[in-house]
Amino acid sequence: MVEGATPRLKTGALRRPPRHLLPSGIPAALRVGGLLPNPLVSTGDGPAVRLDLILAGRTSVLTARRPDAELAGFCRRHGLVFVRISSTTPGAGTPGRPGANPDAGWIDVRLADDGRAAGLRALAANPALTVIVRPDRVVAAVEARYRLPRLPWLVPATAVPGCPATAQPPARPHPAGPLPAGR
């Protein structure tokens, strides 16, 4: 059976070499260049769906901390989807109310018990971590100690012509909603 982890990627010409391998407080499952798992998650009282359905192929910021104005503004300026992860394990991470609230500026998701989410469970257990995830679910940047992550690309999303200043709404407004009835 094929394992979902990616091999360690070598530093290239466009990526500055890291100062140290894994900064303190960042679990190995969330290393830059690693593949984020695609576990079952739920928003609100809806059924469990894969994280890919929630992210909808968009660059995202994942964290377990209570959203603040600075992080929400960072996501808005760079056109990033802001997702707050919480765990179903009592006492792990920060308590939250899972669901998508378009006025809030972020999506609250809760991890299901499917065992494939080691990296996301580590993220939910440590609200000081913030992770930027590319559309292909590769970890692009990780920051600890409640700091804003640095974008790994040089051109901000808002500086690119034709790129929106805010994140686009998902293709389906309610990703965990019911499927259309078949004929």
Q: What pLDDT, in 10s, does the model give residues 97-154?
A: 444 444 467 899 999 876 667 788 888 988 989 999 999 999 999 988 788 888 888 7
pLDDT of 63 > 60? The answer is: yes
Read off the pLDDT of each residue in 171-176 and give the average, rounded to a whole number.
Answer: 51
User: By mean pLDDT, which of 85-89, 154-158, 173-177 is the weakest?
Assistant: 173-177
Backbone CA torsion sign across 75, 81, 86, 87 = negative
pLDDT bucket at 181, cuts 50 / 70 / 90: low
Per-residue model confidence (pLDDT) at position 118: 79
The whole-number pLDDT of residue 94 equals: 42
Spatial separation of the C-alpha atoms in residues 180 and 183, rounded to whole Å: 10
Residue where the block lists tokens 């890919």: 52
pLDDT at residue 172 is higher than 70: no
Three-state secondary structure readout of the chain: CCCCCCCCCCCCCCCCCCCCCCCCCCCHHHCCCCECCCCEEECCCCCCEEHHHHHCCCCEEEECCCCCHHHHHHHHHCCCEEEEEECCCCCCCCCCCCEEECCCCEEEEEECCCCCCHHHHHHHHCCCCEEEECCCCEEEEEECCCCCCCCCCCCCHHHCCCCCCCCCCCCCCCCCCCCCCCC
pLDDT bin (cut points 50, 70, 90) of residue 160 is very low
> Is 182's pLDDT higher than 70?
no
What tens digit of pLDDT does each residue of 1-10 get? 555 566 666 6
Percent of the chain, pLDDT > 70? Answer: 60
pLDDT at 87: 83
CA 145/CA 154 separation, integer angstroms: 23
More confident residue, 70 or 46: 70
What mean pLDDT comes out for the span 60-89? 88
